[in-house]
Structure 1
Amino acid sequence: MSNKRPLLRQAAAALALALSCCAIGGAHAAATITIVNTNAPNIGFNDPTPVQPVGGNSGRTLGAQRLIAFQQAADIWGRTITSPVPVRVAASFEPLPCDADGAVLGSAGALEVFADFPNAPKANTWYPGALASKLARTDLATPGEAHIRARFNSRLGLFPDCMPGSGFYLGLDRKAGDQIDLVAVLLHELAHGLGFQNFTDEGTGEFFLGIPSIWDYFLVDIRNNKAWINMKDDERRRSAIGGATLSWNGERVYKVTAQVLAAQPNLMVSGMAAGKAGGSHDVGEASFGPQLGQNAVAGELMPVVDQANGSGLACTPLSPANALAVRGNIALVDRGACPFVTKARIVQNAGARGMVVMENTSDPVSPLGGTDPAVRIPAVRIDKATGQQLKSVMARRSRTSSGVTASLGLDPNKLAGTDLVRRIRMYSPEEYSPGSSVSHYSVDTKPNQLMEPAINTDLLHDVIPPHDLTYPLLQDIGW
């Protein structure tokens, strides 16, 4: 007999908008994914607003185009996974939290979880409904229930208080431009519903109803190499907010990671005055300007100082002294007060060869977002501790020299977004983020992955290697 109970809270992964604004499965992979439209007449998927066809989407109403985009995402997943049981997705467009600068794009998760069902690979372990049904080879869902519940933001870009001008792009051709690619969002949320999510409460570390989820077997804290399944509640709680210290220890993902992820961008610090700051430092690369390559961009590191407290925001044209300091060198600036692209233009105009942005929180390194074709120098972000160390060793610099050399390039011995043994890291920010922490890949993967906690503009509607690591993780848990 199966041990099942509907989730007391829907384990849905919310996306906070952060625009960087080997065949898998074999030829016989196939599953049927059925979309159950739960919208009332004239709203959501039934919105009769006339629209023109766009990017291969032939729908003539807003609702029809939304449904066609959803079917596109469902077909991609249907060609990738295998299951004898059709997967039902209860879906709707409805108002979700948003403001003028950011929005929840969508949320999705399993409606029910099951343990100790026929053919369950692990006893006393929760599996999401769609996966449990596949493994049991029979539909375990409560009669009349879907396996997945998915919601998407109906107000996005259509109202002045919900990211005006940044609505969903409904085309199927990956040419979203400044809009948000709905198919990519749909692929992301369907993956959550299929099982790319944890049912353990990351905020408390408590197993759901005292039973671990299959996810807990693969989460490993890098600091002690201990799996979540073997931790106590408080250990799991602290592990979820450990910074860049949580990895996925699944064989399927590990085997193909090197096929998908690129070398880690880094800042190499050297020179007579480098002291303890010398060596390689991980960085978050900018979405604007030239991408880092094997031919590093190097120069003396020189801090911009334009604030009374000794920091440098570089939000207005540099003074003659600051311009002289950064000319032909790498400029170190502080985060805050203006967009990253503004800082980059300012130091570029002053003659800098590159820019390093120092984080102002204790969060792990993450990429620099923004778009500006006028930026022609590379830019990266470093964490707060590294920035403070660099400022300390440069305290006795001259007006034109620090004695600290900065080289912006790639570390060929490390893959972007992985730990020291090349396991992909999971998203575990210093401050717990409900719906995002733990159930996503780290934000510093390169190239960007579908299952990061935010949708990036360069996704390819792919869920398999050599472009993406979403399906290998689902294979690890049983797909």
Structure 2
Amino acid sequence: MIANKAVLLSRAALMAFACSMWASAQGAAVVTIVNNNAPNEGFNDPTPVQPVGGNTGTTLGQQRLIAFQHAAGIWGATLSSNVPVRVGASFVPLACTADTAVLGSAGANDIFSDFPNAPRPNTWYPSALASKLAGADQAPDGEPHIRARFNSRLGLFPDCMPGSGFYLGLDNKHGDKINLVTVLLHEMAHGLGFQGFTDEQTGEPYEKRPSVWDHHLIDNRSNKLWVNMNNDERRVSALSETGLSWNGEFVTGQVPTVLSPQSTMTVSGRRAGAAKGAYEVGDASFGPPLDLAGVKGELMRVVDQANGTGLACAALSAANAAAVKGNIALVDRGECSFVVKAKFVQDAGARGMVVADNAPGPVTGLGGGDPSIAIPAVRISVAAGTALKAVLKKRARGKTGIEANLTIDPDRLAGTDSMRRIRMFVPAEFDPGSSVSHFTTDAKLNQLMEPSINADLIHEVKAPRDLTQALLQDIGW
């Protein structure tokens, strides 16, 4: 998935292991970082650096390790286990270009079933959780419970997202860089059990046994658990866009304290015609959140391209600026980032921004971060954008008679189904490494375990900010 233009994959990565070990974390569990890098590489990179954001390391390798230890400490203080959790980790060159990159990957190193004290028979559990439940290490010969690797080239080379590397500070002040501690918290969660072991693309359980994950995935249309489905039913459920939810008492119990009301856009006015009504929208990770009072104004199109689209990737023309001033600007997705579009329409005096998608699929949010953005922004679907443009095309630029209100629906929680269970990420086109194994991108507040790292995330894994700990509790932590 795209996170600050970077691909965040979440699956176990096979790699060779070195022997040096670094202990980390205090609290209810101990999380140990196993350094798999060779001398002068990764955690052992001797490149001098200045301390940053509470990270006191004086070499690049030291700072990487301190960031790992910090993330491990957060999970250690959150979990409970008598068996130390070993994370085999390394920084290695991974795929990247000037605009996109693989940030890293992680997952359970091994899975176990029918171990001592196993809560469910004939069911797969990830290595760290199986060891916790058994009260004894299930991993053979000191093998790690979690394997993880991250991109050692990110932001450091002209062919690997130059200028957008990992922020190694511990204080969340990452600016336009990628917050490494947040990425680590996300990936460690996968290794702890925020993943299934059934093939999501075929629906086939590994060695014909379900995973504990399958006992909590529920198709919210049929109200049928994955563990009770056949392979084809699971395959279809994994492509259902909004049809798959998490059915667990800890997560569902905390949903009302963590998630906020669903945002919506209501279109009205004497000239709105067939476009009248409420529209599903995706929230932006920048700008102010919407509230019940709403932000109202005439909906005005920005048109700055020969093909009739309005990208707002440069300062608005005088005509476009006059149209959006004091109103809600409708712009098209593409060409530049969402924060760039928001800044240009804000500079032109718009009260809010609506981005019409350029590809079919479920409505998702607008990523990015810029503290100077002071207007709300939302995304609408291709179909919604087409309907609105059709009625706007017939009206004068100066006054459309079509009113938009960006507000919230107090009766719905963002990212949930009709039973107020949080939905999972299941796009209509299967997304390897992301489908099924993440929360929906519709959640608000943005959640750590969405398929992309949002700029507004902080180093929290539990309620009232986040549902990740609750999900791990549902599977046995």
Tell me, yes or no, if the aligned pair for 1:85 and 1:134 is still in contact at 8 Å: yes
**TM-score with structure 2 length normalisation?**
0.89
Which residue in 1 is equivalent to 2:441?
443
5+ residue gaps, structure 1, are 1-14, 21-27
Going from structure 1 to structure 2, the CA distance change for 1:327 and 1:57 (only over 3 Å counts) comes to closer
User: What are the superposed Cα offsets for residues 224-249 of structure 1, whole Å, 9 maximum, x if unpaired?
Assistant: 32222222222222222222332111
SS of residue matched to 1:215: helix
Tell me, yes or no, if the aligned pair for 2:283 and 2:379 is still in contact at 8 Å: yes
Query: Could you tell which deviates more after superposition, 319-328 or 407-416?
Result: 319-328
Query: Could you tell which deviates more after superposition, 276-285 or 93-102?
Result: 276-285
Tell me, yes or no, if the aligned pair for 1:49 and 1:61 is still in contact at 8 Å: yes
Runs of 4+ in structure 1 displaced over 6 angstroms? none
Distance 2:243 2:341 in 1: 30
Distance 2:398 2:140 in 1: 71
Kindly report which structure 2 residues correspond to 1:90-169, keeping only aligned pairs within 5 A, or say none. 90-169=88-167
Distance 1:342 1:262 in 2: 26
5+ residue gaps, structure 2, are 7-25
Tell me, yes or no, if the aligned pair for 1:443 and 1:453 is still in contact at 8 Å: yes
Tell me, yes or no, if the aligned pair for 2:286 and 2:456 is still in contact at 8 Å: no
- Aligned residue pairs total 458
Q: 1:473 aligns with which of 458, 461, 471?
A: 471
Distance 1:171 1:314 in 2: 33
Going from structure 1 to structure 2, the CA distance change for 1:229 and 1:272 (only over 3 Å counts) comes to farther
Alpha-carbon deviation of 1:475? Answer: 0.4
Letter in 2 for 1:107: S
SS of residue matched to 1:238: helix
Q: 1:416 aligns with which of 400, 405, 414?
A: 414
Letter in 2 for 1:284: G
Query: Could you tell which deviates more after superposition, 443-452 or 283-292?
Result: 283-292
Query: Could you tell which deviates more after superposition, 35-44 or 336-345?
Result: 336-345
Query: Could you tell which deviates more after superposition, 453-462 or 192-201?
Result: 453-462
Which residue in 1 is equivalent to 2:386?
388
Distance 1:319 1:179 in 2: 31
Alpha-carbon deviation of 1:421? Answer: 2.3
Kindly report which structure 2 residues correspond to 1:265-280, keeping only aligned pairs within 5 A, or say none. 265-280=263-278
Going from structure 1 to structure 2, the CA distance change for 1:225 and 1:53 (only over 3 Å counts) comes to same
Alpha-carbon deviation of 1:371? Answer: 4.0
Higher relative contact order, structure no. (Cα contacts within 8 Å, ≥ 6 residues apart):
1
Going from structure 1 to structure 2, the CA distance change for 1:19 and 1:476 (only over 3 Å counts) comes to farther
Tell me, yes or no, if the aligned pair for 1:298 and 1:330 is still in contact at 8 Å: yes
Which residue in 2 is equivalent to 1:12?
none
Which residue in 1 is equivalent to 2:287?
289
Alpha-carbon deviation of 1:374? Answer: 5.2
Which residue in 2 is equivalent to 1:17?
3
Which residue in 2 is equivalent to 1:341?
339
Query: Could you tell which deviates more after superposition, 294-303 or 306-315?
Result: 306-315
Letter in 1 for 2:299: L
Going from structure 1 to structure 2, the CA distance change for 1:350 and 1:60 (only over 3 Å counts) comes to closer
Distance 1:392 1:245 in 2: 30
Which residue in 2 is equivalent to 1:360?
358
Kindly report which structure 2 residues correspond to 1:59-458, keeping only aligned pairs within 5 A, or say none. 59-316=57-314, 318=316, 322-372=320-370, 375-458=373-456
Distance 1:102 1:246 in 2: 29
Letter in 2 for 1:294: L
User: What are the superposed Cα offsets for residues 161-188 of structure 1, whole Å, 9 maximum, x if unpaired?
Assistant: 1111122222222222222222111111
Going from structure 1 to structure 2, the CA distance change for 1:115 and 1:262 (only over 3 Å counts) comes to same
Tell me, yes or no, if the aligned pair for 1:17 and 1:104 is still in contact at 8 Å: no
User: What are the superposed Cα offsets for residues 101-160 of structure 1, whole Å, 9 maximum, x if unpaired?
Assistant: 222212111111111222211122111111111112221112231111011111111111
Going from structure 1 to structure 2, the CA distance change for 1:203 and 1:321 (only over 3 Å counts) comes to same
Letter in 2 for 1:245: G
Alpha-carbon deviation of 1:307? Answer: 4.3
% identical equivalent positions: 65
Distance 2:285 2:456 in 1: 10
**TM-score with structure 1 length normalisation?**
0.89
